[in-house]
Amino acid sequence: MKSRRSSGTWKPGMQHPNARLTEDDIREIRRLYFSDQKITQQQIADRFSVSQAHIGKILNGIRWTCVEDER
């Protein structure tokens, strides 16, 4: 049995119909967290109306891997 990703039916990032974030949001999330401002994952999650767990997965490279940083 093929996975949705290997069969081509998986929609990554903004192509997914339930996506709440944009690629620009992902870059902003990473920029905020890795800046010198000491912003917590929860503060970022509140700002973008998603869970802290989702922010953690973005920052750890588990979600939204299709978005490259502008570093």
Say how far apart CA 23 and CA 14 lie, in whole Å.
7
- CA dihedral 34→39→44→47, nearest 10 degrees, is -130
Task: Tell me what pLDDT residue 65 has.
Answer: 85
For the domain made up of 20-63, the CATH class stated in words is mainly alpha
CA atoms of 12 and 64, how far apart (whole Å): 7
Instruction: Output the pLDDT for position 9.
Output: 52
* 22 close to 50: Cβ distance less than 8 angstroms: no
Instruction: Supply the pLDDT for residue 26.
Output: 94
List per-residue pLDDT tens for the chain, 71 residues long: 555 555 555 455 556 566 789 999 999 999 999 999 989 999 999 999 999 999 999 999 998 888 887 65
CA-CA distance, 27 to 62, in Å (whole number)? 15
